[in-house]
Amino acid sequence: MPGETTLANPARPPSEVSPKSRRVALVGPLPPFRGGIAQHTNQLRVALGKRSELLAVSFTRQYPAFLFPGESDREPEGRRLAEANCRYLIDSLNPLTWRAAFEAIRGHSPEIVIIAWWTVFWAPCFWYLAWRCRRADMEVRFLCHNVADHEAAAWKTALTKAILGQAGSFVVQSRQEQQALEALCPGALVQVHPHPLYDQFPDASAAASPRADLELLFYGFVRPYKGLDTLVEALGLVRNKALRLTVAGEFWAGLDDIRRRIDSLGLADRVELIPRYVSAEETADYFARADALVLPYRSGTGSGVLAIAYHYGKPVIATEIGAFRDIVRQRETGFLVPPESPEALARVIDDLTRETAAAMAPAIRDFARTMTWDSLALSLLGD
């Protein structure tokens, strides 16, 4: 019914999985493109492939080089998927490829077309695909990683509203995103499903020796909204000097500023900067060494990094925003603090011990069982 909001049941048992009885198309980035959304789409592709005749449509080029601030949007080793149900067709700058993608989708004759949505850059291409699919009597469902861009603007809001208006239903990853979507598209049919666990990451290569009484980790692409500067300010306030912070991830902006602030606060011996893309194997080692992950975001909707932390049984210190409020259980799986408050963050860090963090592992693993790709696939299929 219009305006209906449902919360997916992440704990649905595997015995309720539907048979492969329908045809589905999935549009989104896949490896060799890197980043959380490509990983998310790939894990979802596997889950959907178990219960549908699936066609996955991905990109030959996502962004022009001048719009991508990182070193590359592809895996360093340049791997390509070999699965027969994956088609690399869409060039963001070539509308003729959008038509080719639609023709491939139409040739598959899907009942449902699932489109990953995360940035207004894709509005022209995804509007075209959604419009053509709807005209061909295919049901369009958007899986929204972010309803709106992190950097807001009126013109972005207008474009977002236009493209999302082409969908018949939506899945979002937090109640905050549900509210944002319903404000843009009144009467939308929305399901909320938490970001599933990134359980594809490997085990650590070897036991890591702690370098201090408490090891903290900040991981992933470094962008202004993720609040690394707030975390550095907090470290300047903590009483516990026997701690280390590892910052592992490619900087999209602000590396020189962070280095200067670390030096000015006298934190050089407590902060290790690894300002580059980190492989899955390195990721496993960094999480193995960490006692807790810190997510000091100013704003945001969710975090695939949190899904990695839960996979490794690590608690998180996160701000009270977006999906963090839905999936961080206070003092059970982590801690929530106000955004942009170095003082509040410092108090939590001062109170945390290695023993306290380790004791949270059973609760984290128990809660993580609800964050499955099978459940997300079932939600998108409407089962």
Least confident of 178-187, 196-205, 213-222, 236-245: 196-205
Classified by CATH at the fold level, domain 5-193 comes out as Rossmann fold (3.40.50)
Which residues face 364 on adjacent strands?
none
**Greater confidence, 280 or 330?**
330
How high is the pLDDT of residue 308? Answer: 95
- Split at pLDDT 50, 70, 90, the class of 256 is very high
Q: What is the largest CA-CA distance in the chain?
A: 63
> Can you tell me the mean pLDDT for 114-120?
93
Domain boundaries, the chain: 5-193, 214-368
Percent of the chain at pLDDT exceeding 70: 89
- Split at pLDDT 50, 70, 90, the class of 13 is very low
Under a CB-based contact definition with an 8 Å cutoff, are residues 45 and 74 in contact?
Answer: no
Q: Tokens 């696939």 appear where?
A: 377
- Split at pLDDT 50, 70, 90, the class of 68 is low
- 33 in helix, strand or coil? strand
- 347 in helix, strand or coil? helix
- Split at pLDDT 50, 70, 90, the class of 383 is low
**Which class does domain 214-368 fall in?**
alpha beta
Dihedral (CA of 203, 209, 213, 217) sign: negative
Which residues face 219 on adjacent strands?
248
CA-closest candidate to residue 246, choices 223, 219, 266? 219
pLDDT at 227 over 60: yes
pLDDT at 148 over 60: yes
Q: Which two tokens stand for residue 173?
A: 């990853």
CA pair distance 262, 71, nearest whole angstrom: 24
Do the domains 5-193 and 214-368 sit in the same CATH topology, yes or no?
yes
DSSP readout, 280-325? Answer: HHHHHHHHHH-SEEEE--SS-S--HHHHHHHHTT--EEEESSTTHH
> Can you tell me the mean pLDDT for 290-313?
91
pLDDT at 6 over 60: no
